[in-house]
Chains A and B, each alone.
Chain A
Amino acid sequence: MQKWVEVVDEFPHVAEQGFSEAGDDLTWLRPSPLLLRARRIEVALVTVPLAIIGLLGGLASSWQAAVGVGAGVVALGVLSERFLSRRVAAWGYAERKEDLMVRRGVLVKRQSVIPYGRMQFIDVTAGPIERSLGLATLRMHTAAAASDARIPGLDKSVAGVLRDQLASLGEAQAAGL
C-alpha cells in the first residue's frame, strides 16, 4: 500500500481532482420509488402461480399438505418482499466528472466505476412490468464482458436524459482499446 500511494501522489493532475475519499461528498442518485412496486409485482407474479400449483399438487395427497405447501410458498414470497425493499434501497448511482459510479446489493455489496471514455454503447430497456409503470433500465456496456453497470427503475424521461448525457460524455472522452 505504502509504495502505491506514494507513486500515485506524484501525479499532480491526479491529486488535483480530489479523489481522496471522494466517496463522502458524492451525491448518490436513486432509482424511482416505483422500482419497489415493480419488484413487488414481479415477486407476486412468481409467488401466486407457484402457491396455486403447490395447493393443487398438495390436494392430490391431502388438504393439510396442500395448505402447508401453499402457506410455505406465500411465506417465502413475503420473506423475499422484506429483502426487496432493502435491495431496492441499495441501488444508487453517481455521475462524477470522469466516470459513473453504480452501487447495489445488500448481501453482496457491489460498487462499479465505469469511466465515460470506456463506454462502447448504452441501451435502455423496459420489460412489460417496468413499461406499465413508466420505468426503464439503463445499461452501460464496455469492451469488458465483466463490467457491471446497470441502473434499473429509472423514470423513462430520466433514463432518456441520462442516456444522452452519458453518450455525449463518452464521445468527448472516448479512449481506444
Chain B
Amino acid sequence: MTSESPASSPEHRQPPPGAPVALSAQTGWHRLHPLSPVVSAGPRLAALVVVLLGFAVAQQRTAGSDLITDGVVIVIALAGGFIRWLVTRWQVADGVLRVDTGLVRRDSRRFPLSQVQAIDVVQTGIARVLGLAELRLRVAGGDASRGGRLACLRRADAEVLREQLLALARTARASASRSEVSGTDAADANATALSERAASAQSAVAWPPTASGSVTATAPAATPERVLFRVHPGRLAGGLLFSHVGVIALVAIGVLVAISAIWGEKAAVASFVSVGLGAILGIWRQFNSEFGTSVTIAPDGLRLKSGLIQVAAETIRPGRIQAVRLVEPLVWRAFGWCRLEIDVAGPRQREENHAEGHRLRGLIPVGTRAEADHMLSELLTNRPVPSLPAPAPARWKAPLKYHFLAWNGDARYVVASGGRVCRKTTWVPLEKVQSIRWLQGPVQRGFGLATVHLDVAGRRVTASIEDRATAEADAILARLPAVARAARLRHR
C-alpha cells in the first residue's frame, strides 16, 4: 500500500460498525468486499482449473509436485486480483463518486452523480453464491468502459448504496431549484430527511450501512414499488423456441437427425453440430439473461430485474426512454404473444452482450398483448395507435409489407408500424426526435410514394413512416419539425 492508505488520516477513518455516525463525518475511503478477487477472477480461475485438470488427466500423473505447481499457478492468478482489491478504494463526497485503483498506474475516476443515467446491480454466478453484487453506474454517451463499477459489495449493501446514490443524484439535480418534496407520512418524511441530510452534508453517504441507522431500515419502505410485469417462465421458453434463432436451431437439429438417420454419415453431422450448438448457445444465453424478468415502477424510474445465473437489476429514470417498440413475430402472433422493447440512450452494460449492442432492452421478453398494452399505457400516456394504413399504391411497391404499414401521431408521439413477417410497431416521443428525414427512391417515385424517418439518439432505433403518398409525406415533413419543437419546449 502507498501512503494514501485509507487509515492514514484520522478524520478519514472508517467508522466502527454499528456506531451511529453523523453523515458529514463519513467522507472517508471505503474498500470493496475482501472476496471480490474471487468473483472477478472466477471465470478465468474456473477455466484454469479445467485446463490444469485436463493436463493432469492427460498425463496420468498424480504426483505431489504437479499439484504444487498447479496450486502456485492458481495462487498467482488470485494474487493479482488480491493486489487489485488492496489498492482499490472508493469514496462518495460532494456528489461525486470517486474510484481509485491501480498499483503501478494509478487510475482515479470521478463520476458526478448528477450525470448518472442509471445504476445497475449485477450479480454473476459466483457472486450469487458468495452473496456479493456489483454496482454499475451508467453515464450518457461514450462506451461501456466509461461507466463506473464497484465490484463487489455485499448484496444488501449494494442495494442500499444504490438507493443512496440515486437519492444523492436526485438531490444533486434538484439542488438548483431547492424545491424539496415535503411528505406527510413517515416514509416520505424519511426520504426527504435523507435527501436533505445528504445535501447538507455535502452529499456524503452513510457507509457502511449500520443496523441501527434509520437509512438502512427504511430505504426500501421509502420507495413504494408497483409491479408492472413478471415474465412467465414457460412462456419465455416457448417464445424462445419459436423465435428466429429457435427455429434455426430446430431446423439444424432436424437436418442433423435426418442426415444421421438416412446416411449414417458422421462427417456431415459434425459440420452441423457447430451450427446447432451455436443456436442452442444463443437461445440459452437469451433465456439466461431474460429469465425472471420483472418490471416495477418506482419513484426513481422503471426497475428492471432479470437473469437466471447472472442477475442484473437496472433502473431506468423517467424521461430517458427514447423509443418503445412492440415486436410481434409470425409464430408468436398465433399464440397472441409479443415482445416489448425500449431504447435508452447510452450503452447497455452487459459484458457478455457485445454482439447484441443493436438489440433493445426487452421490458417484456415474451408476454400477452394484454400485458403489453398495460405496460404501454404505463409508459406512454394516451398513446396513438397506428390507424392510418398506407395508400393503395403501396400494395404494389411493398406487397409483403403492405398489411403492416401504418402510422399515426399526435402532439406527443408518433407511431409507425411495418415489417414483412414480423410486425414491428415503434412509438417515438416527439421531444426525443433528433432529426427528420424524407426519402424517395426511384420505385417509390413511380408509385407516388415517399418515406419519412424519425431518428432518435443512438444507432438502434429509427421510426419509419414508410410508403406514404408523396403529398402526405411532404405534409409530415413540413409540420413535424414544428410539432417536435413544441414538444421539446414543453419538456424543458
Q: Which A residues have a C-beta under 8 Å from some C-beta of B? A: 1, 3-5, 7-8, 10-11, 13-14, 17, 19-23, 98-99, 107-115, 117-118, 142-149, 175, 177
Contact = CB atoms under 8 A, between A and B. Distances in A.
B368 interface: no
B437 A13 contact: no
B223 to A, nearest CB: 25
B455 A147 contact: yes
A65 B388 CA distance: 57
Contacts of A145: 455, 458-459
Interface string B449-461: 0000101111100
A98 B485 contact: yes
A13 B487 CA distance: 11
A4 B408 contact: yes
B157 interface: no
Contact of B411 (A7, A22, A99, A143): A7
Nearest to A118: B434
A61 B295 CA distance: 70
B437 A22 contact: no
Contacts of B388: 1
6 contacts: A20-B479, A107-B441, A108-B441, A110-B439, A175-B431, A177-B432
A144 B486 contact: no
Given A14-B482, A19-B481, A115-B488, 11 more contacts: A5-B479, A19-B482, A98-B482, A107-B442, A111-B477, A112-B436, A113-B477, A142-B455, A144-B457, A145-B458, A147-B455
B297 interface: no
Where chain B touches its partner, the secondary structure class is mixed
B226 interface: no
Contacts of A113: 435-438, 477, 480-481
Nearest to A100: B435
Nearest to A22: B478
Interface residues of B, number: 43
A1 B440 CA distance: 20
Given A19-B478, A143-B457, A7 B410 contact: yes
B267 to A, nearest CB: 41
B409 to A, nearest CB: 5
Contacts of A110: 437-440
Nearest 5 A/B pairs, CB to CB: A145-B459, A143-B457, A144-B455, A144-B434, A147-B435
A18 to B, nearest CB: 9
B434 A142 contact: yes
Nearest to B414: A4
Contacts of A10: 411
Contacts of B438: 109-113
Contacts of B409: 4
B483 A11 contact: yes
Nearest to A145: B459
Contacts of A5: 475, 479
Contact of B140 (A7, A117, A177): A177
B371 interface: no
B440 A109 contact: yes
B36 interface: no
A6 B208 CA distance: 57
Interface in B467-481: 472, 474-475, 477-481
